[in-house]
Every structure is written in C-alpha cells, then in structure tokens.
Amino acid sequence: MRQFPSWQKETLQEIRTLNHEVTSSVVDSLIGELLIKYEDHEEIYEYLSDFKNDVVEHSASFLHRPESENPLVAAPDFSRYQVNVLVAQPSDRSIPVIYEDNPSLPNLVGRIEHEAQFGTLTTNHTLIKSGALHRAVGGFLILEVEKLLTKLMAWEGLKRSLSSGLIHFDSIERSYGWATTIGLDPEPIPLDTKVILVGDRRYFYLLSEYDPEFSSLFKVVADFDEIVPRSVENNLKFPNLIAKIVAEEQLLPFNRRAVARLNEFSARMAEDAERLSVNRDKIRDLMIEANYIAQQNNQSVVEDSNINDARRSAMFRHDRIRERVQEQILRETLLIDTSGEKIGQINGLAVYSLGQMMFGKPSRISARVRLGNGNVLDIERKAELGGPTHTKGVMILSSFLASRYAAEAPLSLSASLVFEQSYGGVDGDSASSTELYALMSALSGLPIRQSFAVTGSVNQFGDVQAIGGVNEKIEGFFDICQTRGLTGDQGVIIPLANVKNLMLREDLVQAVRDEQFHIHAVQHIDEGIEILTGIPAGEEIGDNAFPEGSVNALIMEKLKRLQEKKKSMQKNGTDNSNQESE
C-alpha cells in the first residue's frame, strides 16, 4: 500500500507521455507539410512551430469531458487557435479608399473589446477589432477635420500613428490612466496609408498656425474654390450638374427656364453676375423644394415659377427678424424717410447676416457742422459702438475734406456724424461715402433727396469703392419703398465697381424696367452729390475755386465764412474752439 502513490504517479506520467507522443504524431502529420512549404519564410515557419508545440502542450484541454452542471467547469476551448481576421482585402486587390464618418480614437486605431464572465471582464485576441487606419492600409483614408478635432484624443492618436508609421491599439482610458489593469498589448501594425483631411479652409490655417506637427505630416494642400467663372463653357456644364442631382434625388425633370433660374440662383450665391457658385447642397435643397411644389401642383416637369416659389418659401421661413425690422420702419418706430428733402440727413444701407439669412436694412445718418478746429467727431467711436474699420472710413473722409477744401489753410469747422437709432456696434467702411454726402450737404446747405439710399466706401481722392452685400442692401430699401408705394423718384446709389455683382430679385428688376425704381452707379463722390441734390458738383477751375452755385463752391463759401469768423474771434480773444474734444 505504501508504494501505491508512487505507482499511480508513474502511471499518470506514462499516460501523459503516451498522450504527448500520440498528439505529436497526429499534429506532425497535419502541420508537417505546411512546415516544409513555408520553411523559407522565417516568421511563418516560426509561428507554425510554436503552434505545433502549443497544441501538443495543451492537448489535455481538448479532451472530451462528461457534461457537468457546475458552471465553473469549462468546456473544451479552441479560441486560442482561432484566427482573428482584422482586415479582409478584396480579391481584385483594388486600392482601398475608406471614409470614416465617426473618427473617434477607437474607430481610427482599433479597440480591444471585453466580455463579462462571472462578474469580471475578460478578453482575448479574438476580441481585437480593427480601425479605419487598418482598413485603409495600402490605400487612402478620408476624414472630416471638424469631426476629427471634436473627438477626444482622436487627433493626437492619428498624429502618433502617422509620425511613428505604426498603428498602436490605444484606448482613451489607458491614455488618461483611468484603467490600470493588465490586459492585452498587441504588437503595433505597420502603417502605409495616405490620410486626406477635408473641411473648411479655416481649419487648415488654424492648424498650420498652432500645431507645429501639422505641416510636417500633411504636406500636400488642395484649396478648392467654390466660385467659378460664369463662362460659356461653365454655363453649358451647369445643366449637367442639374441632371446629376435630378438622377440622384429622383426628381421631376427641370425645363430650360427652370435650369436658367437655377443658374441665376447660383450667381446670386456667388454675389457676382460673372461668377457661379458650385455649392451643391444649397442648389440641391432648392431643387428638392421646387420639385415638391411641382408635385403638389400635379406637374410633369419643374418650371421656373416653382423655383421662384421655393425661394420665397425659404425666405418666409427665415425672415422673422427682417419682417420685424421692416415693421418698425413702416410704423415709424425706426425713422427712415423715402420722400422729401433734408439738409445733413441721408439714408445709408447696411447688411445683416443671421444664420442662413442675409438682409439689408436702411439706416438714417445725420451730420452737423459748426465753427471749430477741423475735427470730425465720430459719435459711434466716442460711444465705443464703432469698430476700427468704420473709424478708418471716417478718418479717410476727413482727409478728403481737408485736402479738397483746405489744402493751404486749416479747416475752421467741427463736424459730428452719427447713425441715428443705432443701439449695437457699427463697423465697416461701406457707409463712408454716405457720411461724406451728409457732411457736404450740411456744409453747402443743400438738402438731400430722402427718396435715395446710398452705399459705398470712399478713398482720400473721392473715388467711390466697392462694398459687399450690394444685392441685399438694394432689396432692403426697395422693400420699404414698395410697401409705402413706389413713386418713380426712389432709388439707390451704389459704386460703379459693384455693377457686376448685381443679381437682384425679379420684382425689383421689373420695377427698374418700369422706371419706378432707380439704381445709379457712381465712380466719384461728385457724381453722387449731383444726384442727391440736383445741383452740379462743380470742377475746380483754379486755386480752391469752383463754378458759382455749384455744390463745391457753396461748401467753399461756408468754410471761408467760418474761417473769417474764427479769425475775428481769435483777434477779440473769444475763440474757444481748441477746447473741443475730438
């Protein structure tokens, strides 16, 4: 009996040896051919050898066991020998082009999943999942930069992979030290992928400025313009774009007039009659809405009237604030005159952008002059409501006044400019010519026709320069005049350089054709003041001399009277104009 334990131990050892020999013989017969086939491939041969030895070593775990009700008794498990295919490339060996619409860190570099067993989380190599970088190896990966930058650790993880040329199975919890448990640590996979970032160009400029690694990782830049010339060639290609959208969205056919109206809409988006916008999203949205209107009318094709109705519907859904502003003007809460004449008062034009909505709003600008030391007081700036560009415009018009009317003597006046009923910030120089007209009216004593509104910047030589939002500005004033009733005297004055930007509404164009509304394009400040006052501006005929009765002559006469009065006050010791603040 004393020898029984040793006999049992010897018997078990012999059984294990026999099992090992039998298993080794069986495995050799199965794997031997593979070892011979891949003996020239060191890594494959090494893997197969280790695989054979591991199977023989763990052969006992493959033996069939009687069924047991004990859940802790594990069934035979072959998962350690399962192959986890991370990426399966197509059989035609085509270059993969992968687009990842949710570029989080796990979706880019892969992740290791876990299973819950008996209250604990377990994992194995079969739970390793690939990321977009793995699927794009040998090809291209396309990412939206805005989405990428908003995902936690995604940008840093992508840069690490591109810099090292290896894809590491990183996890957010390990990066931040939230998980300290021991788990799988797969070998990094070599990365050979071209990553393409798409998005708004401002992200390119920001990353170039603030991320020193960006320029070294992304060296090829393609800056696509959304605006193309409105040439004969592009006009002929435009219907092809419409036809493609019709096919993609399964819309009704668009007739020729509807396509022409879409062409005009594209030019309006470009804010240039000589350019076309290739913003497919906005064109498609308009087409879908026009198609819906046509279907509601039981039409077989989409017509230009459907395009017009769709644009009006889109405007109606977005123009709550524009309607409120116009309502305040029509109820005379905001004071805007569209008839009569006033000295030192003029209608300026501003444009507001709120989300997808842009609209023009007229604003009253007034100017007052008095004896002083040549300062032009910008009340908006003094009240800290004026932006730097607006202040620059006021300084430029001040320089124009001084150089034209007081080249050899100081100006003996003080003037003030203000946007009436302006309760927010004012910026931009598009009203500088308008302010100059108001000052010239106040100096000359000539009234300005209130049936006109004006926009345009001015330089030191009196040239009227182009501005933005010209279509919205014109339409904003036209809507007020149309609601009050067109008289045939109303209109706007714009820079000549903005004529190419005109893409106006059909009703406004028709009113211009019928001479119920007027659009005057001017190149110089003298042209505009003649339209506003009905008096010739007058060209200089000598040293600060202008034709009698002209606007410039009246201004010179006013300035001379102020200068003489100032000299008289200085002689009498009563001049306190130098005490005025700028």
Q: Which of the residues are catalytic?
A: 430, 473
- Nearest alpha-carbon partner for 563 in 441, 445, 408, 416: 408
Query: What are the CA-CA distances from residue 46 to residues 5, 34, 40, 50, 59 (Å)?
Result: 40, 11, 10, 6, 20
Question: What DSSP assignment string belongs to 312-354?
Answer: HHHHHHH-HHHHHHHHHHHTTSS---SSSEETTEEEEEEEEEE
- Nearest alpha-carbon partner for 143 in 96, 201, 99: 99
The Cα–Cα gap between 253 and 235 comes to 18
Core vs surface per residue 343-364: b (16+ CB within 10 A) or e: bbbbbbbbbbeeeebbbbbbbb
- Nearest alpha-carbon partner for 397 in 364, 352, 443: 443
At 467, the amino acid letter reads I
At 475, the amino acid letter reads E
At 421, the amino acid letter reads Q
Determine contact, residues 529/551, Cβ cutoff 8 Å.
yes
Cα-trace Rg, the chain:
40
Q: Is 165 left (phi over 0), alpha (psi -120 to 50) or beta?
A: left
The Cα–Cα gap between 558 and 566 comes to 12
The Cα–Cα gap between 303 and 577 comes to 67
How many other C-beta atoms lie within 10 A of the C-beta of residue 95?
11
Collapse the DSSP code of 387 into the 3-class scheme (helix H, G, I; strand E, B; otherwise coil) and give the result: coil
Which token pair is 314? 């889109």
Q: Residue 429, class by beta-carbon neighbours within 10 Å (0-12 exposed, 13-18 middle, 19+ buried)?
A: buried
Distance between the two ends of the chain, CA-based, in angstroms?
Answer: 120
Q: In what order do the strands lie in the sheet with 376-378?
A: 376-378, 413-419, 357-371, 345-354, 452-454, 491-495, 518-522
How many other C-beta atoms lie within 10 A of the C-beta of residue 203?
17
- Nearest alpha-carbon partner for 87 in 44, 147, 131: 131
Determine contact, residues 374/413, Cβ cutoff 8 Å.
yes
User: What does DSSP assign to residue 177?
Assistant: T
Query: What are the CA-CA distances from residue 376 to residues 89, 176, 372, 420, 551 (Å)?
Result: 74, 60, 10, 17, 20
